[in-house]
A = this chain, B = another copy of it.
């Protein structure tokens, strides 16, 4: 399942909604990305996160389908937020549900790598006096 939304999310609720559908799940690996107070040695105030929504759905679906096939996942969940996000807020959640843990770990890392590389989101990071558009290729990809 893919959700692109402005509002935040509750990890327990989002995960239970999926988990409740399947009694054969033994393992869940999940990743949460947060807005940090410091990036590239600059004090961050907030982010403005922009999305090309129609394309983001398509790209994330492709990545999700690839991971599901490759690692026989039972279910997946990707939530990506957009809009104004202040320090400490959640940005993204990726969940990979499988029978055994190795598959969920590998799939979750794979989805995050491709999400960072291809999903059409852009962070405009606001510091106290100026702002800057980030690029993942320059970050710790």
Q: Please tell me if the beta carbons of B36 and A23 are within 8 angstroms of each other in the complex.
A: yes
- Choose one: B24, B87, B88, B109; the contact of A105 (CB below 8 Å): B109
Q: Please tell me if the beta carbons of A34 and B27 are within 8 angstroms of each other in the complex.
A: yes
**Distance A14 CA – B97 CA, assembled complex (angstroms):** 20
- Give chain B residues whose Cβ lies under 8 Å from the Cβ of A34: 19, 25-28
- Give chain B residues whose Cβ lies under 8 Å from the Cβ of A25: 34, 36
Q: Is the interface of A mostly helix, strand, loop or mixed?
A: mixed
- A134 touches B (CB below 8 Å): no
CB distance from A50 to the nearest CB of B (A): 19
**Distance A133 CA – B31 CA, assembled complex (angstroms):** 32
A31 with B112: in contact, given A12-B11, A36-B23 (CB under 8 Å)? no
Q: Please tell me if the beta carbons of B101 and A29 are within 8 angstroms of each other in the complex.
A: no
- A6 touches B (CB below 8 Å): no
A31 with B101: in contact, given A11-B15, A12-B10 (CB under 8 Å)? yes
**Distance A108 CA – B109 CA, assembled complex (angstroms):** 11
- A53 touches B (CB below 8 Å): no
Which residue of the partner chain B has the closest CB to A23?
Answer: B37
CB distance from A117 to the nearest CB of B (A): 13
- Give chain B residues whose Cβ lies under 8 Å from the Cβ of A108: 29, 105
CB distance from A76 to the nearest CB of B (A): 14
- Give chain B residues whose Cβ lies under 8 Å from the Cβ of A35: 26
Q: Please tell me if the beta carbons of B23 and A87 are within 8 angstroms of each other in the complex.
A: yes
